[in-house]
Amino acid sequence: MHRKDVDSMEKKKSKRGFTLVELIVVLVILAILAALLIPALTGYIDKARKSQVVAETRALTQAVQTEMSTIYGLNNSFQRQKSIGKPLTIASKTGKYSDNGGNTSTGDLGDLKEHYEEIIHLSEVPALEKGLTALNDAYFYSFIDENGAVMWTVYDNGNGYTGIYCGDDGKIDSFKSSEVKYAEGYKNNYAGYVIYYNKRDAGGIDVFTKDVFYATLGIENP
């Protein structure tokens, strides 16, 4: 056999493709790797998104508190409304007061929309800043206690995640929005508002405890 023929045969062997068995083995290995890596990757993405919504909820709560501190110290409407025990709208995305819970007046707090926009600018939360000029699904609301402190902030980033700040323990919990089962009712009544509420009912019972509030939102095992 000539050397040329030997070289030709070697080249043909080197160009030989995968057999069916080899392809199946490769596919099985890839499937196993995917089964191991995809859950880990999904978990990492979920954790990162929850961390982001916690950071944005914290920034938003701090912005609300900053604006509220100014109002609490310089405006008599809050003190007067507190003395009669009625809710008071402090900031509003629409510029209108909330008529939910018996709130019938804004007192002389000035432009409620300006208060809202100042909170958004202070917070620098992108989803809410965008919402000032365009329609999107992100929203928040906050409840203020009689001392002018933030009791609760609920922030939905419009992308499937919700952050909730509790003033009692100073903690922020994060959830997938689907885990907040009754969010829609609260959204319809409170989205875009910062409102003062007397945290105690006529019987002196605190109706804004963490257990009670989470239960009304439909959150299980916070």
pLDDT in tens, 4-27: 554 455 555 555 666 777 778 788
Residue bearing tokens 């002389």 = 108
Average of per-residue pLDDT across 113-131: 91
Question: Residue 124's pLDDT is what?
Answer: 93
Quote the CA–CA distance of 114 and 118 in Å, as a whole number.
6
Average of per-residue pLDDT across 60-65: 96
pLDDT in tens, 163-182: 999 998 999 999 999 999 99
CB 173 within 8 A of CB 166: yes
The reported pTM is: 0.77
Cβ neighbors of 104 (< 8 A, separation 6 or more) are 86, 97
The helix (run of H) or strand (run of E) holding residue 151 is strand 150-156
- Whether pLDDT at 156 is above 90: yes
The DSSP code for 137 is S
Tell me the DSSP string of 45-99.
HHHHHHHHHHHHHHHHHHHHHHHHHHHHHH-HHHHHHHHHT--EEEEESSSS---
Question: Quick one: pLDDT band at residue 157, thresholds 50, 70, 90?
Answer: very high
Question: Residue 145's pLDDT is what?
Answer: 86
Residue scoring higher pLDDT (103 or 29)? 29
The DSSP code for 200 is B
Question: Residue 100's pLDDT is what?
Answer: 67
From 76-80, 146-150, 207-211, the region with the lowest mean pLDDT? 76-80
Question: Residue 201's pLDDT is what?
Answer: 59
Quote the CA–CA distance of 214 and 139 in Å, as a whole number.
18
Question: What integer best gives the mean pLDDT of the chain?
Answer: 81
